[in-house]
């Protein structure tokens, strides 16, 4: 049982073909905690798949999002969409200096989600809970100057 089997299972359940490109993207997504962008995925996989097209990366990510297998975190500070393979309710912290993104788990995220789905007039299908600030390292770098 490989870690990416969950993503692959999503593809299979969705009736999508298991191409080498898609499998490689799934593997990268689960072995990567950096919340990658389409660009960064493309760069990393080009070594093993020299012909991999950026369009294919975009298509696969879009398919995985549509299947609910990963989440689209929206644009980072540089204007690039980032993705998250962790789909349990949690917040994401985005460094406004280096664009590093980390997960932050808190029971309040689920409590808020319950409140929104219970009290709002919208039929909720997704969420983004994002906090912006300076990561530890960028705080230290700032102190030096």
Give me the residues that bind a copy of itself (CB under 8 A), please. 74-75, 91, 93, 95-96, 102, 104, 106, 108-109, 111-113, 115-116, 119-136, 139
**Could you tell me if 104 and 91 are in contact, meaning their C-beta atoms sit under 8 angstroms apart?**
yes
Query: Residue 88 binds what, of a copy of itself, DNA, none (CB under 5 to 8 Å, by partner type)?
Result: none
Which residue is it, tokens 């073909």? Answer: 17
Task: Say whether residue 55 binds DNA (CB under 7 A).
Answer: yes
The answer to whether 81 contacts DNA (rule: CB under 7 A) is yes
Say how far apart CA 11 and CA 63 lie, in whole Å: 8
Alpha-carbon gap, residue 29 to 18, rounded angstroms: 15
Which lies closer to DNA via its Cβ, residue 60 or residue 92?
60
Per CB under 7 A, the list member of 6, 27, 32, 80 interacting with DNA is 80
Restricted to residues 11-40, the positions that interact with DNA (CB under 7 A) are 15-22, 37-39
By CB under 7 A, residue 52 contacts DNA: yes
Does position 77 interact with DNA (CB under 7 A)? The reply is no
DSSP 72-96: EEEE-TTS-EEEES--SS-EEEEET
How near is the Cβ of 143 to a copy of itself at its closest, in Å?
Answer: 11
**Binding to DNA in span 84-113, by CB under 7 A:** none
H or E stretch at 22: helix 20-30
Strand, helix or coil for residue 91 = strand
Q: In sequence order, which residues have a C-beta less than 8 Å from that of residue 88 and are 6 or more positions away?
A: 105
Q: Which residues bind DNA (CB under 7 A)?
A: 15-22, 37-39, 49, 51-56, 58-60, 62, 75, 78-81
């Amino acid at each position: 049982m490989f870690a990416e089997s969950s993503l692959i299972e999503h593809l299979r359940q969705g009736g999508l073909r298991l191409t080498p490109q898609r499998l490689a993207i799934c593997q990268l997504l689960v072995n990567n905690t950096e919340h990658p962008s389409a660009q960064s995925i493309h760069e990393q996989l080009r070594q093993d798949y020299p012909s991999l097209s950026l369009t294919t990366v975009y298509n696969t990510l879009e398919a995985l999002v549509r299947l609910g297998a990963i989440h689209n975190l929206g644009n980072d500070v540089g204007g690039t969409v980032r993705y998250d393979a962790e789909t349990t309710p949690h917040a994401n912290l985005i460094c406004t200096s280096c664009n590093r993104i980390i997960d932050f788990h808190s029971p309040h995220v689920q409590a808020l989600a319950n409140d929104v789905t219970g009290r709002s007039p919208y039929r909720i299908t997704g969420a983004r809970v994002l906090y912006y600030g300076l990561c530890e390292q960028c705080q230290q770098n700032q102190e030096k100057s």
